[in-house]
Amino acid sequence: MSPRRSRFAFASALGLSLSLAACGDNTSSQTAAPPPAPKVTVSKPVSKKIADYDEYVGRFVAFDFVEVRARVSGYLDKIHFTDGQMVREGDQLFTIDRRPFEAALDQAKAGKQQAEANLAFAESDLKRGENLIRGTTITQQTLDQRMQAKRVAEASVTAQEAAMTQAALDLQFTELKSPISGRIGDRRVSIGNLVTGGTSGTTTLLATVASVDPIRFEFTMDEASYLRYLRAATAAASSEANRGMSLPARLKLIDEQEFKHEGKIDFVDNAIDRSSGTIRGRAEFKNPDGRLTPGMFGRIQITVSAPAVAVLVPDSAIATEQVRKFVYVLSKDDVVNPKYVTLGPVVDGLRVITSGLDANDTVVVNGLMRVRPGAKVSPENAASGGDAKETVVGTN
């Protein structure tokens, strides 16, 4: 090889080596550059007034419920109502054929008049005997007989007065009136049927009347809840009957989304059922429109604590470390660190944080998979929907 070619080959190899070295330096510089801070969404916790409540399923019962039955037997003569209508106390409902009872009353009156006439004769006969000289004109035995006749006449008058009173009552009982105000059911007997009255168990049921306003709601609670209510209740002299448990309650029907019916507990039973470990409670609600019907199911909320401000965050902001829950909180220099929290129930789509978080903390609500404890992030603020309106939240 000529010297000229050797110099050219050496120059080419040297240039190639310098080029490769330059490329290696560029690759090293790109690998050493730090990655950009991950973007996350942050927000302040939502503050709301929260009141703890328990929720139960129960059934409505009428405040008063009466079965209308006849006190006397006879043929049903008239019906004075339309099935299902509202009736007031004292409204006439049925009439039993009055004629036999009017005749019985007239007979009792005649018997009383006869007894009074016999009494008048016995009194005058005794008076005449007392004016005669005893032992000469009239004997003592005759005088005693006249005294006995007077007493028998007096007893007969008393008996006839009682018979006349009973006859008058029987005549009055032929008109059956509503004992309470409420809604009457359908007639159970048609006109012309024989109605059996009296006080035995074979009396004829004519109709039923259920009170409408107010109405009661019965439910059962477990023993632990019962003890919690006792501690939450305020004892007062006016509420000794239910041990101070005049707690507010709200109710909704099966076709309603919100608990909009307001009431309060008015009764708690005196013993816990041994078989179920529950105790029966009862609440009272106003029912002016009569929509709440006995036998209807509903759900009741019982407030067990006064409203207090609580902080809430989305469920997406909560992470898990084994059995502990935590949220990432942003510091002033955009560094995130975990804060361990205690969770409560869900309210309006947000999770209540009962402890471990402050309302002034800034929480990472989106992008948790891209951050690590102590790492710096690039935060973006989320739209805040926090307010302080009152909300109730269930504990069971």
CATH number of 55-62+215-303: 2.40.30.170
Per-residue confidence (pLDDT) for residue 387, from 0 to 100: 46
What does each of the 396 residues of the chain score in pLDDT, given as a tens digit? 454 555 544 445 545 454 544 455 554 445 556 778 888 889 999 888 877 778 899 999 999 999 999 999 999 999 999 999 999 999 999 999 999 999 999 999 999 999 999 989 888 888 887 777 665 677 778 888 888 988 999 999 999 999 999 999 999 999 999 999 999 999 999 999 999 998 777 899 999 999 999 999 999 999 888 888 787 665 443 455 556 567 788 999 999 888 889 998 888 888 899 999 999 999 999 999 888 999 999 999 887 766 778 889 998 889 998 889 999 998 888 889 999 999 887 777 888 888 888 888 899 998 888 888 888 888 888 765 444 444 455 544
pTM of the model: 0.64
Strand ranges, E, within 169-318: 175-177, 182-184, 194-195, 205-210, 215-222, 248-252, 261-268, 278-285, 297-303, 308-313
Domain boundaries in the chain?
Answer: 39-50+307-394, 55-62+215-303, 66-210
Per-residue confidence (pLDDT) for residue 234, from 0 to 100: 55
Contact present, 248 and 264 (Cβ < 8 Å) = yes
Phi-psi region of 374 (alpha: psi -120 to 50; beta: other; left: phi over 0): left
Contact present, 375 and 33 (Cβ < 8 Å) = no
In degrees rounded to 5, what are phi and psi of residue 348? 55, 40
- Is 55-62+215-303 in the same CATH topology as 39-50+307-394? no
Per-residue confidence (pLDDT) for residue 340, from 0 to 100: 92
The residue whose two tokens read 């008239």 is 78
Phi-psi region of 100 (alpha: psi -120 to 50; beta: other; left: phi over 0): alpha
Per-residue confidence (pLDDT) for residue 389, from 0 to 100: 46
Per-residue confidence (pLDDT) for residue 72, from 0 to 100: 93
Per-residue confidence (pLDDT) for residue 14, from 0 to 100: 46
Residue 175, strand partner residues: 95
Q: CA quadruple 330, 331, 335, 341: dihedral positive or negative?
A: negative
Q: What is the DSSP string of 130-154?
A: HHSPBTTTB-HHHHHHHHHHHHHHH
Contact present, 301 and 249 (Cβ < 8 Å) = yes
Per-residue confidence (pLDDT) for residue 91, from 0 to 100: 95
Q: The CATH number of 66-210 is which of 3.90.470.20, 2.40.50.100, 3.40.1260.20, 3.30.1600.10? A: 2.40.50.100
Percent of the chain that is helix, strand, coil (3-state, to 5)? 30, 35, 35
Give the Cα separation of 186 and 207 in Å (integer): 6
Total Cβ atoms within 10 A of residue 276: 10
Written out in words, the top-level CATH class of the domain with range 39-50+307-394 is mainly beta
Q: Put the strands of the sheet holding 194-195 in their side by side order.
A: 175-177, 92-96, 74-79, 194-195
Contact present, 50 and 392 (Cβ < 8 Å) = yes
Per-residue confidence (pLDDT) for residue 270, from 0 to 100: 86
Give the Cα separation of 274 and 11 in Å (integer): 104
Per-residue confidence (pLDDT) for residue 375, from 0 to 100: 86
Is residue 60 classed as helix, strand or coil in its secondary structure?
A: strand
Contacts with 228 (C-beta within 8 Å, 6 or more apart), sequence order:
304
Give the Cα separation of 120 and 128 in Å (integer): 13
Total Cβ atoms within 10 A of residue 137: 10
Among 255, 256, 236, 258, smallest CA distance to 245 is for 236
